[in-house]
Structure 1
Amino acid sequence: MSSNKGIKAALIVVDLQEDFCPPKGSLAVTDGRSIAPIINDLLKLPWALRVATKDMHPEDHISFATNHPPPNNKPFESTITISNPRNSDETQTTQLWPVHCIAGSPGSELIPELDATKLDDIVEKGQDKRLEMYSAFCTPFLNPKIVETGLAKSLREKGVTHVFCVGLAADFCVKATAVDAAKEGFEAFVIREGTKGVEQGQEADKKLAHELKEQNVKMVSVDGPEVAKVRDQK
């Protein structure tokens, strides 16, 4: 981002939902609620598009530990291997979680601290019970793709060139969304102060920054030059 010319940036607020936030969230990220003021300030900037995402799972979703028999049904510990429903050679190993973000439940709602009046759109994901879906763009299976949300199309229709991601959780849905933004051809960034991870601390931050860099995503600061270039477009 060497110049402001030609920059059209979008902000994606990933899964800032009740079930991902203390004190009552079934899959609460430590201090998850605390990032709302930073995100609200970011929403005031001159983005070409402001999108929030929401996990919206059916009760029988494959990622819920309770939907699997013991002993392989321990949330945060057990993993399962999922096959592409249309290509059994394509598989994904994924972690199992507590029941969360059931469609229509209070836990699936965006937290009230988020200024949703500034949002242009809300993208719902994770509705297919057969598939895990961390990314706001599509499920991990690519050959063929099973579910696409239309987010990439919306960004392109707005002429977006740069995508900035915030929200929850940094090391899962935020990371997957930012990585897919890069794969879709956008310059992709994660704003560190606008997200919290399941794993937290200095080492977790370093690990995440390294993983993002390997996938052509840059971790940046809310006060850094990348966000400043968006701010300066006013």
Structure 2
Amino acid sequence: MAGKKALIVVDMQNDFCPPHGSLAVSGGRDLVSLVNELLNSSYFDTKVTTQDWHPANHVSFASNHPPPNNKPFESFIDVRNLVGNKPEETMKQNLWPVHCQADSDGARLVDGLEVDKVDISIRKGMDHRVEMYSAFADSFGNLAAGEGGVTEDLAHSLKSRGVTDVFVVGLAGDYCVKYTAIDAVKAGFAATLLEDVQRCVNPSTWEDVKKELQTAKVQLGSMADLPI
């Protein structure tokens, strides 16, 4: 029996979209019509949306750290893997403006997105101690639901529905979309990132991002490749 397909729409939220988003990605709002076309397609058996849903004290917020090393987009801090109970593991965390704070207007999905077509809604990044770009795992690779502050174990939910192939779109291509696609492969799925249905924080890095995706066995595609 052929495996089923899932669409994962990553972080199409107000704070990631112009004109008023605190971490607005150029062209982000322009994706709404393309995403809706995908959400309305019978090609996908399961449709997922994700949202960053951060507490006010989240580790990635530059304003939660003392100067001078607290400049959004520029500063990095060292973070320990406290969620996974492995404090000896550390990583560099880049700092961002306050964004997608839980229950704020900025955290809401953008107007016009056809959320009535969605089967699974995931909120992530709810643990203040760790970043969670991916919908599957936090930045240290902690995968189970609850680790890194995620509302649902997405890999388990998709596999229970017979999904074998995932298609990833949304914001931002060089962060949450990229890591969701990479972690989908790690979780055992065949993953395709649709290049024309993503936008980057730093578009100039996209060629390097593509190399990273290809190394991770993520396929690159476009809407034109799909029978929709």
TM-score (norm 2): 0.93
In the alignment, does 2:69 pair up with 1:68? no
Q: Deviations over 1:170-189 (max 9, x none)?
A: 00000010000000110001
RMSD over equivalenced CA pairs, Å = 1.5
Question: How far apart are the structure 1 equivalents of 2:48 and 2:112?
Answer: 16
Q: Deviations over 1:141-169 (max 9, x none)?
A: 24796336310011001100100000100
- 8 Å contact kept, 1:87–1:144: no
Question: How far apart are the structure 2 equivalents of 1:140 and 1:24?
Answer: 27
Q: Single out whichever of 37-46 and 9-18 deviates more from structure 2.
A: 37-46
- 8 Å contact kept, 1:209–1:218: no
Taking only the aligned residue pairs, the percentage that are identical comes to: 47
Post-superposition shift, 1:190?
Answer: 0.6
Query: What pairs with 1:34-45 in structure 2 (closer than 5 Å)?
Result: 34-45=30-41
Choose the corresponding residue for 2:157, options 154, 158, 169.
154
Specify the alignment match of 1:13 in structure 2: 9
Size of the alignment, in residue pairs? 221
- 8 Å contact kept, 1:90–1:143: no
Query: Where does the alignment leave 5 or more consecutive residues of structure 1 unmatched?
Result: none
Question: How far apart are the structure 2 equivalents of 1:60 and 1:144?
Answer: 22
In the alignment, does 2:27 pair up with 1:31? yes
Specify the alignment match of 2:169 in structure 1: 166
Question: How far apart are the structure 2 equivalents of 1:141 and 1:22?
Answer: 30
AA partner of residue 60 (structure 1):
N
Query: What pairs with 1:121-200 in structure 2 (closer than 5 Å)?
Result: 121-142=120-141, 146-147=147-148, 149-200=152-203
Q: Which of structure 1's runs of 4+ aligned residues deviate more than 6 A?
A: none
AA partner of residue 119 (structure 1):
V
Query: Where does the alignment leave 5 or more consecutive residues of structure 2 unmatched?
Result: none
Query: What pairs with 1:40-119 in structure 2 (closer than 5 Å)?
Result: 40-46=36-42, 47-85=44-82, 86-119=85-118
TM-score (norm 1): 0.90
- 8 Å contact kept, 2:3–2:162: no
> Cα–Cα, structure 1 residues 186 and 143, in superposed 2: closer, same or farther, change >3 Å?
closer
Question: How far apart are the structure 2 equivalents of 1:62 and 1:221?
Answer: 34
Aligned to 2:78, the other structure's residue is in SS state strand
